[in-house]
A = this chain, B = another copy of it.
Amino acid sequence: MNAKTSYFSGSAQLPKNCLSHVSVDCIILGYHDKQMKILCTEIKGMPRPKLPGGFVEKKENVDDAAYRVLEERTGLKGVFLKQFKTYGNANRTAEQTANMKHLLKKQNVNAAAMNWILDRFISVAYYALTEFSKVTLKDNFIDGESRWYDIHNMPPLIIDHEDMVRDALKILRLQIHNEPIGYNLLPSKFTLPELQALYEAILDKKLDQRNFTKKLMSLNIIKKLNEKKHIGGHRSPTLYKFNKRNYDKALKDGVALAL
């Protein structure tokens, strides 16, 4: 195996350059046209895919490591990452040790680096919600492949990465009441059905259309425009935009968007 194309190329430098025992993992959720997807990467020789993740350099902030790792492994830049939980069970990587050992040996990783990699790690986890049609995944040589999976049809992942996805979704569904999550996922002008479809995809449930509209209008957080979306035919739906000032004020006052 060519060292340059190996997942662990450069691993001999890890003990010297990176903080031991600490890693980062990223749950990158992608929304587009009523679909919610998640980004996973594959390592050749590992039985299951994993979340994009990696190590923290000795002089690097942990948050910055998450951004760097995400960009290196997927090509994703400028996504807003939200740290949500740290996974610190003592035996969390134990299940993976045999596979990893085998893989590291096959790739001629030296003993010091191997011990470093196989030691206990706690992982600081981050999530982001992106518009996946706008993302071009970098064709990178480090991981086997990064790809989007439908959230309802995800493969089994390594270690506790499935717990991470579950927790991230749970937190995202709570945060939707406290943060203007829709902003970066919809065009600046949108229709009510588009907004409702986004909330339904995040919450993974159908919402009552009348209550949804009534609630949003009563909070004054969206504004009806004197414009229609041209989709052909008779029924051109009205366009709306967010009233950012009122949205922010509602959040600040603790007026939760109970949908």
With a cutoff of 8 Å between Cβ atoms, the chain B residues found around residue A63 in the complex are 88-89
A32 interface hit (Cβ, 8 Å): no
A213 interface hit (Cβ, 8 Å): no
The residues of A with any CB-CB pair to B shorter than 8 Å are: 19-22, 56, 58-63, 65, 83, 85-86, 88-90, 120, 122, 124, 173-174, 177-178, 203, 254-259
Are A258 and B259 in contact, CB atoms less than 8 angstroms apart?
no
Are A86 and B83 in contact, CB atoms less than 8 angstroms apart?
yes
Contacts A19-B21, A21-B19, A22-B22 hold; do A124 and B88 have CB atoms under 8 A apart?
yes
Are A177 and B124 in contact, CB atoms less than 8 angstroms apart?
no
Contacts A177-B254, A178-B174, A254-B258 hold; do A56 and B203 have CB atoms under 8 A apart?
no
Shortest distance between the CB of A206 and any CB in chain B (Å): 13
Shortest distance between the CB of A104 and any CB in chain B (Å): 21
With a cutoff of 8 Å between Cβ atoms, the chain B residues found around residue A256 in the complex are 177, 256-258
Are B178 and A62 in contact, CB atoms less than 8 angstroms apart?
no
Give the nearest-CB partner of A250 in chain B. Answer: B258
With a cutoff of 8 Å between Cβ atoms, the chain B residues found around residue A86 in the complex are 62, 83, 86, 124
Q: A63-B89, A173-B254 are in contact. List 5 more A-B contacts (CB 8 A).
A: A59-B90, A177-B256, A203-B254, A255-B258, A256-B257
Are B120 and A58 in contact, CB atoms less than 8 angstroms apart?
yes
A258 and B183 CA atoms in complex are apart in Å by: 22
Shortest distance between the CB of A71 and any CB in chain B (Å): 18
